[in-house]
Amino acid sequence: MTIAPSTMRILSSLLEARTGQCLSEGRHWRVEMALNPILKKRGIEDCNALAASLAAPDARRLSDETVEALLNNETYFFRDHDAFADLPRVFEAIAANRKGRKTLRIWSAGCSTGQEIYSVAMQLRDDERRWRDWSIELLGTDISQSVIDRAKRADFSQFEIQRGLAAGHMLRWFENSDGRWQARDTLRDMVHFRRHNVLDVPPPGQFDVILCRNVMLYFPGINRAKALANLARALAPDGALMLGAGETVLGYSDRFEILPGVRSLYRLAAAEPPQILRVAAAGS
């Protein structure tokens, strides 16, 4: 069936109001596929009828489900392997400024089902002796409650566990039961999750590293600028922001500058020494 232009407008405005994303024409093709499970579950005839139902006064639950279904939650462990390979040097550089208090705070904003922040957790635990006496706080947030619930459960399918995860990590950190892979408590307990919109006031305190990858792809420029301003507020003066491989701050924020020598990473612009972050070259 054809989705009426008025239906697209209703769905676009709903999605933008709740998440900041626009439903550009390039994404219209996947709307019907994304909403199909809701139509089936609720016995709604088609997307046009669903859009009409959204106007009902008691449609909050339906609108929540609709927004969740329209979000793209694609993620996998150690996504952009090269970028992850740079992270230990970034942690080292920041840790050099934290010797007194030995704390690190890392935030994955738009964490989806948790693979990103669990990858960071595994990476830190790989170097267990280095971080033994450090207090490390790992936070994952997402606008979608359903992915946050899944991230907390840390229970992955065979397909999900095989995407990006080396066999060593899989066997060390996950237990197989009936074809599902459950994170061991030692890994799960390292991370906290909660619902949060990157367009809202950031979680309290300053973070040393913020990963916000593949979250702003569908934001119009004004929302990218707003999200980046929030991330700049949440970042420690000598912290680092990691964006997705195809993302940039250019044109949306002058609060960040590229962190020389590492991929997809930015530091706060105009930070003065001694707080400016410098990362040693690879192999040094």
Residues that bind ligand SAM (CB under 6 A): 19-21, 71-75, 79, 110-112, 116, 142-144, 147, 197-199, 213-215, 244
Q: How far is the CB of 11 from ligand SAM (least distance, A)?
A: 15
CA distance 274 to 4: 58
Report which DSSP code applies to 42: H
Q: Closest CB to ligand SAM among 17 and 280?
A: 17
Query: Measured from the CB atom, is 170 or 271 closer to ligand SAM?
Result: 170
Residue 221 beta carbon to ligand SAM: minimum distance, rounded to whole angstroms: 15
Q: What is the nearest approach in angstroms of ligand SAM to the Cβ of residue 48?
A: 25
Identify which of residues 79 and 255 has a Cβ nearer to ligand SAM in the complex. Answer: 79
User: How far is Cα 24 from Cα 218, in angstroms, rounded to an integer?
Assistant: 8
Contact assessment for residue 205 and residue 236, using Cβ atoms and an 8 Å cutoff: no
Distance between CA atoms of residues 181 and 183, nearest Å: 7
Helices 5-19 and 60-70: angle between axes, nearest 10 degrees: 90
Would you say 116 or 208 has its CB closer to ligand SAM?
116
Query: Which residue's CB is nearer to ligand SAM, number 245 or number 280?
Result: 245
If the CB atoms of residues 7 and 115 are measured against ligand SAM, the closer one turns out to be 115
Q: Smallest distance from the beta carbon of 153 to ligand SAM, in angstroms?
A: 15
Q: Nearest 5°: phi and psi at 24?
A: -65, 160
Phi/psi at 256 (nearest 5 deg)? -120, 155
CB-CB contact of 85 with 79 (8 Å): no
Residue with tokens 């950031």: 202
Cβ 35 to ligand SAM shortest distance, Å? 16
Among residues 172, 140, 164, 167, the alpha carbon closest in space to that of 153 is found at 140
